[in-house]
Amino acid sequence: MEDELKVSKDLLKTITVDTRVKILKALERRQMTASELSRLLKKHVTTISEHLEILKKSNLVERIERPGRKWIYYKLTREGKKVLHPESYRWIAILTLSFLIFSSLYFVMTVDAYPGQIFYGIKRAREKFLLGLIRGNVERAKKHLELAEERLKEAKWLAKEGRIRELKEILREYENELKEARREIEVARKKRKVVTSVLEQISEATPKHISILRNILIKTGRKREVLEALNRSFETYESSIEELRNLTKRPYAPLFKQV
């Protein structure tokens, strides 16, 4: 039927990313530029532009270029509105079933689940599942950075709760996620892929990581474990800054000195 939307695995992967859903909801209110969305969602404009391109390829948003104006706006397509309000369309049953098949863990997961809590195992399984869906090395690197930030959030909570034994393991996992992000970037570079956007994300994220880790160090006094994580953050930050200088020829300046 004319009102039906073809539900494919690629479409499901597109709309199970939180940032893309937030973009669709923002564009439901009004047309916006990538810069406006960047400020609203507090994401780098390069990241927003990449998500918009994926949404455009899925026919969920469209570009609007107005004659005589330099700004490019984005708006929801009819299909984009269907994704946000499926209740009025015939494919609701198909979409619901597909979500249960391809991303049931996503809906079961409790966002604020922490180590030791009932839904934490489901949360980690969901992370592994979604990571497995990602094929591009640059996108996988970004996902590992996202997971590193999740582990750091958990470390902050564990430090507050005084659960030092679990804190040590989570900090080790944080370091591993950063290592995996760097490994994916190296693979992408060998394949001659553009890695600037993920390097920019790392250069913006790791200073925040360093501040959080310093606070954990003060709160717990666990010098060895926290310093190892801090050094990994510094190394990741500095290497990303150096690579950005080489790729863009712009004078990126370090914000921190290593501990």
**What pLDDT score was predicted for residue 16?**
62
**What pLDDT score was predicted for residue 2?**
39
Single-letter amino acid code for the residue at 111 = V
CA pair distance 123, 106, nearest whole angstrom: 8
Q: 233 and 155 in one domain?
A: yes
Q: Which of 72, 102, 132 is the last residue of a domain?
A: 102
Tokens 């937030």: give the residue: 22
Q: How many domains does the chain have?
A: 2
Model confidence, pTM: 0.58
Residue 1 located in a structural domain: no
**What pLDDT score was predicted for residue 145?**
92
**What pLDDT score was predicted for residue 98?**
59
CA pair distance 151, 153, nearest whole angstrom: 5
Q: Write out the two tokens for 144.
A: 């590992």
Which 3-state string (H, E, C) describes 1-38? CCCCCCCCHHHHHHHCCHHHHHHHHHHHHCCEEHHHHH
Query: What are the backbone dihedrals phi and psi of residue 121, each rounded to the nearest 5 degrees, phi first?
Result: -60, -40
**What pLDDT score was predicted for residue 173?**
93
**What pLDDT score was predicted for residue 219?**
84
Q: What is the mean pLDDT of each run of 10 residues along the chain (259 residues)?
A: 47 69 88 90 88 87 80 87 63 53 48 78 84 90 92 91 89 92 92 89 88 88 81 87 82 57
Query: What are the backbone dihedrals phi and psi of residue 7, each rounded to the nearest 5 degrees, phi first?
Result: -100, 110
Q: Which of 61, 87, 102 is the last residue of a domain?
A: 102
Residue 4 located in a structural domain: no
Query: What are the backbone dihedrals phi and psi of residue 62, each rounded to the nearest 5 degrees, phi first?
Result: -135, 150
Q: How far is CA 18 from the centre of its chain?
A: 8
For 186, residues 6+ apart whose C-beta sits below 8 A from its C-beta are: none
Strand partners, 73: 33, 64
Q: Taking a C-beta distance cutoff of 8 angstroms, is the pair 176, 232 a contact?
A: no
CA pair distance 38, 183, nearest whole angstrom: 27
Q: 82 and 154 in one domain?
A: no
User: Residue 122 is part of which domain span?
Assistant: 109-248
Q: CA angle at residue 61 from 105 to 25, to 5 degrees? A: 55
CA pair distance 20, 18, nearest whole angstrom: 6
Q: Which of 43, 68, 102 is the last residue of a domain?
A: 102
- What single DSSP character describes residue 33? E
